[in-house]
Structures are given as C-alpha cells and as structure tokens.
Structure 1
C-alpha cells in the first residue's frame, strides 16, 4: 500500500512547494526588483474637486505624477452643488475611489467629519498648518482640530464692468458701500438686455453670512439670530430689485434657466456680478470669452452704514481633506502637503492663489495676470482682490443653512411675505441649533 500512495503524496507536496515558490517569488518581485529594476506596486490615489480639469487641476496632477512615479493620482471632478456634494459623500461613505477631496464650505466639512470620513490632521507633526497657512486657517477647525488643510486665499467680491460705470458717470464704490448703494448703482446701470446686477449662486447669501458672522449665530440668551432685522432689510431690497426695478433677474427665472452668470458678465449682459475668484478662469480666457472692457472690483456690500461688526467672505478656502477610509492615507498626506506648498500654482491663472507662505505671492499674481494685465483696474484689484478684511467661515449646521434657503426662496418666488419668511427662518433655525 505504501508504494501506491507515497509517490502520489510526494507529487502533491512537490507541486505545493513549487506553487509556494512561485507565490513567494511574485511577492518578492512586488516589493523588490527584477533585473535590477524596482517592481514595487504603484499606489493609486483619487482627488475629487469642483474645478474643471482643464482649468488647472489636470496640469497639477500631471506634474505630480511625473515627479512621483510610485504614487499616481487621478482627478475626479464633481460639481459643487447639492447633487455633486451628494455624489462625493456617497463615494466617501462607501469607500469608492475617494482618497482626497476638496471642501468649499464649513457645513459640508462638518457633515463629513460627523460621518467619520475626514482624517484628523492635527496629530501630524511634519506640517504646521497654522504657521504655513496663517491665522485664517483656524476658522476651519472643528472641535479645535483640523480635518482638512486650507490651500488657497478665498476671495469674494463684486466684479464691475468699468466701461459701463464710466459711461454712467459712476465711481468705483468705496469699500464700505451698502445694499442701498448697490440698488442705486444697479438701477442706473440697467438697460435693455443689460442687468444692473447678477449674482452667482455661491454669492447669493454672502452679505447674510457676513452679517451673521459679525453678530453671532445666537444671541446672548441662546436665541437664534436668523430672524434679525438686517437680513430682513437686505432681502426686501433684493426683492425690490427683482420685481420693481427689474435690475436683477427674478429668482425663479435665474433658477430655472440656470443662467451662466459669468458668461453673461463677460458678454456685457450685466454691469455688475457678485461672485468669487473662480470667474478669473473664464475672464482670463480671451479665446473662448473675448471681451474688450476693463474689469474693476468692489467689496461685497454690507446692509447699512451702521453695521460696524460686518465681516467679509474671504480668508482661506479649498480645504483639502484625506479620507479616513483611504487605504493610502500616508501617500495622500504627502500629496496634500506638496499641493499646498506650491504644487497648486498652475491653478493661479484661474484665480486660485496659494495661501501657503512657501509660495511667492508675486509669482502667483504674475500667473494670474499673465497676458491680460490691461483687462483689469489695478488699483481696485490691489485694494479688493488682494486686500485684507475681517473675514469668517460660518459655522452653522447644514440643516439650518438649508432651512434658511427654503424660506427665502419662497419669498423670492412670491409664495410668502417677508414677515412670514423671517418668522419661519427664526423658528426653524432655533429648533435646529438646539
């Protein structure tokens, strides 16, 4: 019997040994070398951001991939709206192809921290965010910890068609101008087929947020400040501009038609545009967006002159987070540091100026204005775009932000009056802030 089964067992053992040897050889090749060349498996990362790939991100990625053959990054674009953020959040929660991602406002970052998909960065000892990015970085802390690295200087302002202002004999507004001033400007600048004012969706609540940041989300007794008189005054002015002056589009029209406000500004269809620095990527693209007029800049207006605690949308932004579910967190962190400290410079031509002190601001400004120096009013650009103002990052639960939007939309759609709108914003926010 032994003679029958011994060769069979021996054959199995030999085969097993050969297979094990093959497996061992493959494993060593993955970590070691073949013919003197490294065969270490490449790490693949994905970066999610809202900027179109051709507007700078792809160049950034290509530069990194060329310098770091062992860590390759792929860029995935998501639109920074409700649907786009839901798409990103789903990818993060299900751990599908999302190692790094950009946050564009504090409520969405807070939501991702609460969901456990943002890696806590404060424990990192090889990079001092406070020192590198500056004091405004702390506005992005949650529970006194960093869950993302701010990478760019945030800039929101009013874009002005200076040729239209000159024709109307209107000076570039002072920094402390108000919504009443804006209303008068818009009225004088409105013509057939030309609005006095357009607003990007991201800037629609800029004054409301700056007002709330100044007075505080809650009153001293813990009551919500969402029903404040300054908000009421501004909303009434804007409603009047829509339905009486006709100097800005009706909210429903802008919403349903998805107005390309940046394109309309560059085509001379509005004299003023409330938006952020992201408009630069189109404004500097004279091939696809040709225009002859010179652009000037004004600050986002406060509600009235008595508003001494008003704060301006600005500071730092484009907060780059590492997914807490990523299998390659160390590699993702290396990319994040590189990106912030100069890797993102190709984005400067589109208005994204690096916030890191390691980046020469003159180089970034040179990239921003290269070939289009004559298209901008230099004084107002230096005063507003590169000026320093008391800024904020509004730390309010996303549910409260959403509830506020639902209520003022009803007012702008003429489905409820202003008093009901203010009462509902106050009541709903009070419940949510608890």
Structure 2
C-alpha cells in the first residue's frame, strides 16, 4: 500500500544495520530483572519508586507519533511520577509518518545512536528487524512477571516461540456512517449486514452529479481495500498462508473482494472512482468529514475525530456499524492490528526499557486516552469516554452504536507474517491498480497478481 521507493529506502537502511551489527546476535540473555516489578501487580500497586535508591536512567524511545497531539507527553510524565529514576526521551519527527520513521530508526541503529525502545506500526516491520537481531527477546522478563502474552493481550506477536515486543494499541476496523444521510435516505444503522447489503446502502446514499456528486462510499488506495471480503476473516486473511510460501490470492474470497469494488465503482457508481482518488490525491478523512462520501470502512483511530476538532468541526452526527460479512450469519470479525513496542537488543537499559513497555501497554495507554488498548483487561467504555472527552462536540458521536461495535466485533487471530510480506503486498497492489483503472478484469488481475507474488516467494526462498 506504500510507494516502492519508500520500501527500497527501508530495505537499504536495513542492509546498513546488518553490516554494522552483523557480529551481534540476539542471543544476549536478559540479565536478572531485579529492577523490574511485576507488571501484573503494577495496576494495583501505584506507589512511586523512590529515585534515591536508583541510579537515574534516560531511555530513548523511537516512534513516529506527535508527542503533543497524541498525548505522549502525558504518558512520559505519568511514568516518571511512578518511576522517578527513569526518564523517557522521545525521538520522533512528530509527523505521524510510520514509513519515514523506519528509515530514521534503521539509520540511527547503523550509526550506533542510543536506542532503547522502538515501536512498529505493522507486524512485518517488527519481523524484519527481529530477523536481523535488532530486538531483545522479552521472554525472561515476561516469565518473571508471571503472565502470558496471549492471555493478557489480543495480539501475540511471538516469532518461532520468542516474543520481541508487546502489543500497544489495537486497531479494529468498522464502518463510519453519516447519520444525517442515513435519516435522509430512510436507512437504519446496521447491527449486522453483508457486503451485498453494504452496496445497496451505498447506492441509496449516492446523490447528485458531477462535481457536486455525493458518493455512498469511499475506498482508499491502500491494499486492504482490495481485500474486503478476505482481509477481515478470522484466519487466512493475508495474501500468503502462515507458512509464508503458499499463495492465498486466487480464492473465492479474493474474487468477491474485487467484485465488491467493481460493482460499487463501475456498475453502481456509488463509490469514488479510483482514477479520481489517484489523480486528485484524495484522502479518506476529508472525503468523509466534508460529506463527499456517506460511509467509509476505517479504523478506530478516527473515533476522537468524529466528535470534531479545532481544525475539522463535526457538522453531522456519526454512527458506527460492524464490518459487513460475506454471508448472513458469518461471525462479525474485524482486524486485529497492533502497534508493537520493542526493546533494542543493544540497549544498556533493557530492564528499564521493558518496564516502560509493560507499563505503557497496560496502564499508560489507558491514561493516554487516545487509542483502544490491545490489553484485554482495559475498560473499553472508559477509554472511549476519555477519547471523546477531547472532542469539541462529543454529542455528534452516536455512542450507543460505537459501544455496540467495539463490544461485539470479534478480533481476528493475530499472525506475524513473513519478513518479506511487504514485497508480496506491493506486487499485489500494482496489479490491483490496473484492475481499479479498468485495464484488467477480476480473473486476470488475480492471476497476474499471483504470478508476481510467486516470484517474490521464490526470490526469498533461495
């Protein structure tokens, strides 16, 4: 879903890391975590640790978020209040560009800069760096704290039995709907529906012609919007099977995915044409909030914005619906994506870095009030209240439908794909672009995409 030049730059920086640190192996054992406290008891024991008994430690935390906008400064302050001997220094461009961030992270590692903590927006980026021994195994710390990742979090990012990071936010997808447009069309907020019914809604919500046309829906240019029927299944939702070698492209669900797009854009003309998205460089946020599209499939990262911000006020009420299913009666599944927080294998403060990672992914992320945690014990209703508290007009959010979606959709089983999955995804996306521009039919697009992905698998299996 991202440009090839960005991927190449990341690959080059990864090679630089490997050349500088090829002699370093991830076999460095975690030292006795005498300074770390049991994270399971952190929530019940909030007493600060005296700085007098500990040597002051400064952790360098690499990420891409904006510290002010995304309330990370509140996180650092709360952590240091509890652990006065640990200071967290943020290393971020603050531009929320998780792709550019990866290049900067890899170059910092190649240059020997201090890195203690790093975050990844997708499991394949995490897997790539685990493969070159950038990440510290956390299993000894986890065992000492007495919990299991799979029990405490919705995502279990283990690779070959080793855990190199803890899940932070959980990204669930759902459908945002302009409630005013629904009322105008005499439509109700769905609690369960199929993709065929979604297409019917899109037709009924489409209005006008030419530059004033309002589309019923909008599908962004990312790869997952060409995998709507398959990509939200409980299992086998990637383009490759879990073994990383068997293709999962020419399937009935992938064919259905492309048929959804073709029906909406070419037949019903109820979705913004892909040609316009590319030529005009359209983005999902303004398309929805400026009422150019009545429905969008998106993630829970947009929840705070539905209540309005200083820059983009909420001029209409937003309702929420679960993702459509392929067939009536199918489980209401959703994505189970997650930011992953890892400790650098060359950090001189691994114990303290792990302590922050565990604290943030359990307590800190809830205090932050910005994201839905992957932590299973989090109070989701309270987190949503915190999110909406920062909205300018929270009454413009249909909270009842939001809570229903967040409490009833089932997260798909989390899988860490092979480290070269991005290459397969990019090969697939190039072929999908041709399909969405009307240059290939469904079967040809899938056949050609499968052939390109097979080349990727072959080149990485030598």
Q: TM-score range by the shorter chain?
A: 0.7 to 0.9
- Supply the distance in 2 between the matched residues of 1:230 and 1:54 (Cα, whole angstroms): 39
Match of residue 281 from structure 2: 258
Q: Secondary structure at the match of 1:55?
A: coil
Of residues 75, 78, 81, the one that matches 1:60 is 75
Report if the CA contact (8 A) 1:112-1:118 is conserved: yes
Matches within 5 A, 1:210-221: 210-211=232-233, 213-214=235-236, 217-218=240-241
Report deviation, 1:168.
0.5
Match of residue 215 from structure 2: 195
- Supply the distance in 2 between the matched residues of 1:415 and 1:86 (Cα, whole angstroms): 34
Structure 2 length as normaliser, TM-score? Answer: 0.74
CA gap 1:71/1:60 in 2 versus in 1, 3 angstroms = same
- Supply the distance in 2 between the matched residues of 1:408 and 1:173 (Cα, whole angstroms): 29
Structure 2 spans left out of the alignment, 5+ residues: 1-51
Structure 1 spans left out of the alignment, 5+ residues: 1-36
Match of residue 21 from structure 1: none
Match of residue 133 from structure 2: 116
CA gap 1:413/1:80 in 2 versus in 1, 3 angstroms = farther
Match of residue 406 from structure 1: 430
- Supply the distance in 1 between the matched residues of 2:435 and 2:302 (Cα, whole angstroms): 28
Query: Deviation per CA, 1:320-377, whole angstroms, max 9, x where unpaired?
Result: 11122333222211211221221123432x3x12333564444323212336552222
Query: Deviation per CA, 1:54-77, whole angstroms, max 9, x where unpaired?
Result: 122232223334554543223214
CA gap 1:48/1:390 in 2 versus in 1, 3 angstroms = closer
Match of residue 316 from structure 2: 293
**Residue 444 of structure 2 corresponds to residue 425 of structure 1:** no
Report if the CA contact (8 A) 1:55-1:281 is conserved: no
Q: Secondary structure at the match of 2:408?
A: coil
**Residue 408 of structure 2 corresponds to residue 384 of structure 1:** no
CA gap 1:253/1:327 in 2 versus in 1, 3 angstroms = farther
More helix by share: 1
Report if the CA contact (8 A) 1:219-1:225 is conserved: no
Of residues 116, 134, 142, the one that matches 2:159 is 142
- Supply the distance in 1 between the matched residues of 2:441 and 2:257 (Cα, whole angstroms): 14
- Supply the distance in 1 between the matched residues of 2:104 and 2:276 (Cα, whole angstroms): 26
Matches within 5 A, 1:7-406: 42-50=57-65, 53-65=68-80, 67-75=82-90, 76=92, 77=94, 79-80=96-97, 82-124=99-141, 125-128=143-146, 130=148, 134=152, 136-138=154-156, 140-175=157-192, 177-191=193-207, 192-200=212-220, 204=225, 205-211=227-233, 213-214=235-236, 217-218=240-241, 223-302=246-325, 304-305=326-327, 308=330, 311-314=333-336, 317-348=338-369, 350=370, 352-356=371-375, 359-370=378-389, 372-396=393-417, 397-406=421-430
Match of residue 4 from structure 1: none
- Supply the distance in 2 between the matched residues of 1:358 and 1:390 (Cα, whole angstroms): 15
Q: Secondary structure at the match of 1:344?
A: helix
- Supply the distance in 2 between the matched residues of 1:307 and 1:400 (Cα, whole angstroms): 32
Report deviation, 1:259.
2.4
CA gap 1:39/1:150 in 2 versus in 1, 3 angstroms = closer
Report if the CA contact (8 A) 1:212-1:225 is conserved: no
Query: Deviation per CA, 1:168-217, whole angstroms, max 9, x where unpaired?
Result: 11122242x23222222112112234221123556524543224834784
Report if the CA contact (8 A) 2:219-2:272 is conserved: no
Structure 1 length as normaliser, TM-score? Answer: 0.78
Is the deviation greater in 72-81 or in 334-343? 72-81
Is the deviation greater in 79-88 or in 68-77? 79-88
Match of residue 28 from structure 2: none
Q: Secondary structure at the match of 2:133?
A: coil
Report if the CA contact (8 A) 2:221-2:277 is conserved: no
Query: Deviation per CA, 1:131-150, whole angstroms, max 9, x where unpaired?
Result: 68636332x22112211101
Number of residue pairs aligned between Structure 1 and Structure 2: 391
Report if the CA contact (8 A) 1:89-1:112 is conserved: no
Report deviation, 1:400.
1.8
Is the deviation greater in 89-98 or in 165-174? 89-98
- Supply the distance in 2 between the matched residues of 1:252 and 1:90 (Cα, whole angstroms): 36
Query: Deviation per CA, 1:402-425, whole angstroms, max 9, x where unpaired?
Result: 222222122123343332211122
CA gap 1:392/1:199 in 2 versus in 1, 3 angstroms = farther
Runs of 4+ deviating beyond 6 Å: none
Query: Deviation per CA, 1:235-288, whole angstroms, max 9, x where unpaired?
Result: 132134233433222324324543232233223222111111111232234432
- Supply the distance in 2 between the matched residues of 1:284 and 1:98 (Cα, whole angstroms): 37
Aligned CA RMSD, in angstroms, stands at 3.3
Q: Which has the larger radius of gyration?
A: 1
Is the deviation greater in 328-337 or in 121-130? 121-130
Match of residue 5 from structure 1: none
